Amino acid sequence: MKKLAVAGLCLLALTACQREVEKLAEFSGHIFVFNYRLSKANYVVTLRPTAPLPEGGMAIARFENPRGGEPLVTETKLYAKMEKIVLESPNLQCVREGRSYAVTIDLADAKGKLLQALDTTVLATIDQSILPANSIVVGPAYDMNPKVFKAGGQIDLTPVQDCPA
């Protein structure tokens, strides 16, 4: 009986020494945003901090590229008192309705040490073929884009071509 009690205390001591990695943030939202006027699509992912963030740290997001190839990477500086972390991808091409795309986010301290890794997928509920290849407006006054609204009343709303199947 004494051996069992000693073994139990040793096990308890070992588990007390192993601290769980602190969870700095959790997903609070993720979506594709389609802007018809500017003819662009982007991932937008938001995180809710669950612990103080490291001052000078970084959130590095890797978004699956719907066109194929290497992931699209963005970095956002972290501040200790942030209430929300918003990560937006560069402009996308070839987003397909009904397909889920991978997103990975690394939270690192100011020296680049990985503190937390998060993974999710974002489901596209709209196909990017609804957007024309060129923005329908240009400039700060939202003037009609001459690449879309051509002479003679022709309007070119052709979507991006050559997307992978």
Listed by start position, the domains of the chain span 21-128
φ and ψ at 9, to 5 degrees?
-65, -40
Asked whether residue 114 carries a pLDDT value surpassing 70, the answer given is: yes
Q: Which two tokens stand for residue 2?
A: 């004494």
**How far is it, in rounded angstroms, from Cα 25 to Cα 16?**
23
pLDDT mean over 21-25: 81
pLDDT score recorded for residue 8: 47
Is the pLDDT at 62 greater than 50, yes or no? Answer: yes
Contacts of 93 (CB under 8 A, 6+ apart): 41, 66, 67, 128, 160, 163
116-160 per-position pLDDT tens digit: 999 999 999 999 999 999 999 999 999 999 999 999 999 999 999
Is 18 exposed, middle or buried (CB count within 10 Å of its CB: 0-12, 13-18, 19+)?
exposed
Quick check: 78 and 60 in contact, CB under 8 A?
Answer: no
Whether 31 shows a pLDDT value over 80: the answer reads: yes
**Percentage of the chain surpassing pLDDT 70?**
87
> Residue 12 above 60 pLDDT?
no
Q: Are 157 and 135 in contact, with CB atoms under 8 Å apart?
A: no
Sheet holding 25-35, edge to edge: 25-35, 40-49, 85-88
Determine the 3-state secondary structure of 42 from DSSP.
Answer: strand
pLDDT at 134: 94
**Cα torsion 66, 71, 74, 75: sign:** positive
pTM passes above 0.75 = yes
CA 92 to mean position of chain CA atoms: 12
Checking if the pLDDT of 13 tops 90, the result is no
Instruction: Say if domain 21-128 classifies as CATH 3.60.150.10.
Output: no
Tokens of 54: 């490291």
Backbone angles phi, psi at 7, to 5 degrees: -60, -40
